[in-house]
């Protein structure tokens, strides 16, 4: 039979596309040849994501030449700014095979951020957790993958394999059995290949199960009838709801356990049971129940989206932001127009400093809800924050707000532009027209794809601040603030409301614009800045870190560092680099960098990073951002190595080998 199949493959199938030929070859029991076919196909079509993902799947868990080739192909796509999850999965698996578990996890988690609804992400992340010695996390991740792709026999096989390695023969057998039943109905070329793997796994797990536990007595007919009786299940559900409404939480939970045994596939029961678990403090069980309910409701279902949103909110309570992000995206996969999912996703993306992602989400919100003022304001603010230095310079030149000869953006220019944009977003153009309707040179028109926009000029912004300052003084006087105290006011963070010349500062303009006359949004000279317990704890941590050689950097500095080094956040934060510590004071993220090269936190791997920050602060970024260095003595420009290359720290310049990693050791000067 195999010979017949091989003969068939030598005909039309062999001339087909590489992916089909690879799958058919694997079905004949030759996965190594299937991988070779896929890798050869990638040489001709390096951007073929589906073929690349198949190669990732077929790559064996052992060092081979194909692993290096796959990593190089992935790195080349990342280098070309192709932000597809497939390439990060390739880097993840290649690094895992090289026994670099932490670097592998970073790349797998990056893939999860890019696409939390694709099963291959959960497969590779789960297997990487297993390789890193965390079988519990591995099984948990692969179970999530099965929830997402419950009809995929490969998902059941991978989960069964990890459970088997944990010694959980009973659950492994269940996974293998479910996967095997799916292969019988499958018509895919590789279903035969996986059918053989699942049968072998089922035999192994059956032996493991027999060793681990005694043979159980089969349930009687009466029990089977009770489990199948819909009237009894309905009565149980009614009793559970009654106990829950009476706030008898313990009794309700006990009743719900009995209901699950009677009706394990009831989505309503699961969705109502989940908030009960959360209320009694069983957060992880509760969030898993929300996720189970979403699966039971099925795809393209508004209730499935609702359960995913609740799961995301619960994960956020547990500070599991990556899992929350995945649930919000799964909610949108189930119901793309779910505003609660979109709003939650946008807020979470902002908290994770994913400004570009948040901008896209806010634009999606505005398509569904054009009158959403907050989404509109945040979209415009994020657009401003994402502008490059050259774009900001062009905007300031258009507004005649800086010298027309200026070619480099200084920090004070950037601050001026942000202040002008904030004023415009707050209605400064209409305000100024009402104050000085006949004045000229206050505004300028800008043609955009959405139509003509009216912008403040530099002179217009100065006039706006002049009139706004006068109105703000009146507002503060009306609120009972004395004239001497007015010019000593601060906002709630402690920033001055007025500058020494008596004009509103950008912070003061925000205080006035956001309702100074209706609510107290300022501090009198004698009033201390109120500090939340979380802010106080963060301040104490910052002080302690400063004593250990760390220095705080701003969010723009941190984002530029990620850009210029081309490192993942986890690469800079985790060993062996261990250069960045991220904190949260309850209002915004705070970033600390190991800055003192004589401190214990400094090592051969991170001691270069402070120089990047120094260059940024000196506005000397052009050469650093360039991909090529100047050639000497007639040589052409030479491609520069970034701090991170191909998903990991570039170590060639300091002589690091695979056997020895001096990045983990402190500098000699630190001792």
* Residue of 610, 612, 618 lying closest to 667 (CA atoms): 610
Q: What is the mean pLDDT of residues 639-651?
A: 70
Check whether 620 has a pLDDT greater than 90: no
Tell me the CA distances in angstroms from 556 to 273, 353, 567, one per residue in order: 44, 10, 15
What is the DSSP secondary-structure string of 171-183?
Answer: HHHHHHHHHHHHH
Count CB atoms within 10 A of the CB of residue 369: 15
Lowest mean pLDDT among 33-42, 67-76, 507-516: 507-516
Check whether 145 has a pLDDT greater than 90: no
Q: What is the mean pLDDT of residues 222-238?
A: 68
Distance CA 507, CA 460 (A): 18
Distance CA 125, CA 108 (A): 5
Q: What is the 3-state composition of the chain as percent helix, strand, coil, each rounded to the nearest 5?
A: 65, 5, 30
Backbone angles phi, psi at 223, to 5 degrees: -65, -40
**With 0-12 CB in 10 A as exposed, 13-18 as middle and 19+ as buried, what is 87?**
buried
Question: Which of residues 317 and 328 earns the better pLDDT score?
Answer: 328
Tell me the Ramachandran region of residue 438: left when phi exceeds 0, alpha when psi lies from -120 to 50, beta otherwise.
Answer: alpha
CB 107 within 8 A of CB 95: yes
Lowest mean pLDDT among 30-44, 83-97, 445-459: 445-459
Query: Which residues have C-beta within 8 Å of that of residue 480, sequence separation ≥ 6?
Result: none
CB 233 within 8 A of CB 263: yes
Using alpha carbons only, give the angle 384, 375, 398 rounded to the nearest 5 degrees.
25
Distance CA 91, CA 59 (A): 12
Check whether 514 has a pLDDT greater than 50: yes
Question: Which of residues 235 and 247 earns the better pLDDT score?
Answer: 235
Distance CA 121, CA 137 (A): 14
Question: Which of residues 569 and 549 earns the better pLDDT score?
Answer: 549
pLDDT of residue 344: 92
pLDDT above 70: percentage of residues in the chain: 86
What is the DSSP secondary-structure string of 525-542?
Answer: TTPPPP--HHHHHHHHHH
Span 169-225, pLDDT tens digits: 788 888 888 888 888 777 776 777 788 888 888 888 766 555 544 444 444 444 444
- Whole-number average pLDDT of the chain: 81
Check whether 28 has a pLDDT greater than 50: yes
CB neighbour burial string for 557-594, b if at least 16 within 10 angstroms, e if fewer: ebebbbebbbbbbbbbbbebbbbbbebebeeeebbbbb
Domains and their CATH numbers in the chain: 17-212 (1.25.40.10), 265-384 (1.25.40.10), 389-523 (no CATH), 535-670 (no CATH)
First-to-last alpha carbon distance for the chain, in angstroms, is 70
Check whether 131 has a pLDDT greater than 90: no
Question: Which of residues 654 and 603 earns the better pLDDT score?
Answer: 603
Check whether 628 has a pLDDT greater than 60: no
pLDDT of residue 594: 93
* CA 594 and chain centroid, separation: 24
User: Quick one: CA dihedral 188, 190, 194, 196, positive or negative?
Assistant: positive
Question: Which of residues 637 and 411 earns the better pLDDT score?
Answer: 411
Confidence label for 516 from pLDDT (cuts 50, 70 and 90): low
Q: What is the mean pLDDT of residues 226-238?
A: 76
Please write down the long-range contacts of 578-586, taking CB distance under 8 Å and 24 or more positions apart. 578/603, 578/606, 579/605, 579/606, 579/609, 581/545, 581/550, 583/538, 583/541, 583/542, 584/534, 584/538, 585/532, 585/534, 585/535, 585/538, 585/539, 586/532, 586/534, 586/535, 586/538
Span 482-510, pLDDT tens digits: 888 999 999 888 889 999 999 999 888 88
Question: Which of residues 555 and 222 earns the better pLDDT score?
Answer: 555
Distance CA 155, CA 183 (A): 12
pLDDT of residue 91: 92
Span 408-444, pLDDT tens digits: 888 888 888 988 988 888 888 999 999 988 888 999 9
Distance CA 121, CA 109 (A): 8
pLDDT of residue 470: 92
Confidence label for 365 from pLDDT (cuts 50, 70 and 90): very high
Q: What is the mean pLDDT of residues 61-71?
A: 83
Confidence label for 8 from pLDDT (cuts 50, 70 and 90): very low
Task: State pTM to two decimals.
Answer: 0.51
* Residue of 281, 275, 346, 276 lying closest to 311 (CA atoms): 275
CB 604 within 8 A of CB 394: no
Q: What is the mean pLDDT of residues 593-619?
A: 86
Lowest mean pLDDT among 169-173, 306-310, 401-405: 169-173
Distance CA 266, CA 260 (A): 8
Backbone angles phi, psi at 594, to 5 degrees: -65, 110
Check whether 38 has a pLDDT greater than 70: yes
Span 277-305, pLDDT tens digits: 888 888 888 899 999 999 888 878 888 89
pLDDT of residue 463: 93
Check whether 168 has a pLDDT greater than 80: no
């Amino acid at each position: 039979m195999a010979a017949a199949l091989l003969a068939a493959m030598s005909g039309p199938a062999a001339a087909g596309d590489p992916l089909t030929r690879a799958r058919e070859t694997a079905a004949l029991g030759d996965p190594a040849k299937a991988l070779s076919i896929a890798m050869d196909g990638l040489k001709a079509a390096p951007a073929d994501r589906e073929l690349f993902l198949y190669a990732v799947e077929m790559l064996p868990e052992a060092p081979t030449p194909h692993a290096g080739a796959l990593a190089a192909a992935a790195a080349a796509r990342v280098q070309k700014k192709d932000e597809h999850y497939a390439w990060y999965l390739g880097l993840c698996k290649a690094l895992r095979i090289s026994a670099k578990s932490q670097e592998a996890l970073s790349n797998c988690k990056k893939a999860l951020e890019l696409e939390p609804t694709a099963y291959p992400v959960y497969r590779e992340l789960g297997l990487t957790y297993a390789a890193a010695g965390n079988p519990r996390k591995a099984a948990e991740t692969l179970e999530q993958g099965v929830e997402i792709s419950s009809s995929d026999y490969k998902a059941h096989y991978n989960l069964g394999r990890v459970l088997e390695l944990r010694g959980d023969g009973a659950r492994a057998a269940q996974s293998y059995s479910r996967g095997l039943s799916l292969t019988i109905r499958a018509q895919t070329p590789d279903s035969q290949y996986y059918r053989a793997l699942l049968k072998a796994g089922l035999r192994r797990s059956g032996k493991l199960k027999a060793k681990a536990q005694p043979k159980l007595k089969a349930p009687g007919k009466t029990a089977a009838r009770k489990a199948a009786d819909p009237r009894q299940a309905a009565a149980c559900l009614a009793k559970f709801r009654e106990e829950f409404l009476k706030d008898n939480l313990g009794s309700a939970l006990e009743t719900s356990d009995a209901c699950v045994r009677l009706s394990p596939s009831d989505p309503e029961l699961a969705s109502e049971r989940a908030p009960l678990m959360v209320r009694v403090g069983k957060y992880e069980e509760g969030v898993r129940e929300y996720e189970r309910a979403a699966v039971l409701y099925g795809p393209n279902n508004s209730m499935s989206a609702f359960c995913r949103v609740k799961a995301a909110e619960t994960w956020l309570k547990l500070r599991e932001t990556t899992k929350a992000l995945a649930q919000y995206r799964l909610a949108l996969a189930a119901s793309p127009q779910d505003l609660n999912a979109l709003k939650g996703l946008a807020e979470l993306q902002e908290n994770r400093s994913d400004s570009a992602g948040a901008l896209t989400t806010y634009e999606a919100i505005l398509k569904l809800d054009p009158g959403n003022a907050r989404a509109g304001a945040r979209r415009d603010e994020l657009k401003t924050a994402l502008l490059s230095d050259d774009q900001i310079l062009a905007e300031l030149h258009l507004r005649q707000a800086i010298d027309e000869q200026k070619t480099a953006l200084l920090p004070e220019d950037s601050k001026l532009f942000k202040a002008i944009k904030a004023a415009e977003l707050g209605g400064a153009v209409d305000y100024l027209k009402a104050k000085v309707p006949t004045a000229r040179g206050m505004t300028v028109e800008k043609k955009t794809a959405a139509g003509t926009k009216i912008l403040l000029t530099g002179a217009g912004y100065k006039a706006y601040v002049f009139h706004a300052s006068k109105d703000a003084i009146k507002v503060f006087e009306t609120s009972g603030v004395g004239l001497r105290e007015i010019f000593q006011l601060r906002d709630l963070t402690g920033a001055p409301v007025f500058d020494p010349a008596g004009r509103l500062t950008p912070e003061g303009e925000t205080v006035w614009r956001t309702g100074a006359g209706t609510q107290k949004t300022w501090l009198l000279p004698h009033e201390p800045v109120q500090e939340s317990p979380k802010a106080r704890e963060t301040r104490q941590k910052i002080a302690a870190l400063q004593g250990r050689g760390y220095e705080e950097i701003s969010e723009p500095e941190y984002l530029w560092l990620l850009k210029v080094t081309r490192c993942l956040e986890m690469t800079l934060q985790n060993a062996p680099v261990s250069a960045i510590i991220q904190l949260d004071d309850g209002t915004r993220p705070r970033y600390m960098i190991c800055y003192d090269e004589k401190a214990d936190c400094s090592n051969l791997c991170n001691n270069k990073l402070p120089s990047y920050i120094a260059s940024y602060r000196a506005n000397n970024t052009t050469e650093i951002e360039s991909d090529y260095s100047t050639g000497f003595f007639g040589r052409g420009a030479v491609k520069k190595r970034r701090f991170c290359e191909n998903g990991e720290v570039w170590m060639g310049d300091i002589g690091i080998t695979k056997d020895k990693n001096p990045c983990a050791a402190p500098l000699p000067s630190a001792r």
